[in-house]
Amino acid sequence: MRSSAVKVQINPELCQGHGRCYDLAPGLFGDDEEGYGRVLSDGAVPPEAERDARLAVLNCPEHAVELLEEG
């Protein structure tokens, strides 16, 4: 099975459009027309982007970015 062990998601209830996720991990996150963060593609994080993903999580002022570690 070809699925990544790590995924990112944004909680739209918490996101306020600070943009730290798309600043720090532009390969994983982008913005919508109002500047709110959105996950590009399906959120699967390739191993080489894992560090960026963790930085995006840890730098979100609203705690809106989540990392899901699957088994």
Partner 1 sequence: MAVDDRFSFQTPETGEDELVGTRSEIITGPVADWATDFSHLEPEWSADPYPIQDDLRQRCPIARTERFGGAWLPTRYDDVAAIAYDTDRFSSRSIILSNFRPPRELAPIGGSPPISSDPPFHRDARKLLLPAFTKKVVARQEPATRAFCHSLIDSLAGRDVVDAAHDYAQHIPMRVIADMLGFPPQDGPQFREFVEDLLEGINLPPDDRVERVSRLFDYLLAQVHDHLDQPREDLTTYLIDAELYGRKLDPSVVTGAMALLLIAGIDTSWSAIGASLWHLAKTPGDRDRLVAEPGLLPTAMEEFLRAYAPVTMARLVKQDMHWHGVDMKAEDWILLSFPAANRDPAQFDRADEVVIDREVNRHAAFGLGIHRCVGSHLARMELRVALEVWLERIPAFTLDDPGAVTWSAGQIRGPRTLPLRIG
Query: Given the complex with partner 1, which of 45 and 56 has the nearer CB atom?
Result: 56
Please, what is the minimum distance in Å from the beta carbon of residue 31 to partner 1? 6
Please, what is the minimum distance in Å from the beta carbon of residue 59 to partner 1? 6
Q: Which parts of this chain interact with partner 1 (CB under 8 A)?
A: 16-19, 22-23, 31, 33-35, 55, 58-62
Asked if residues 49 and 7 have their Cβ atoms less than 8 Å apart, the reply is no
Query: Given the complex with partner 1, which of 40 and 58 has the nearer CB atom?
Result: 58
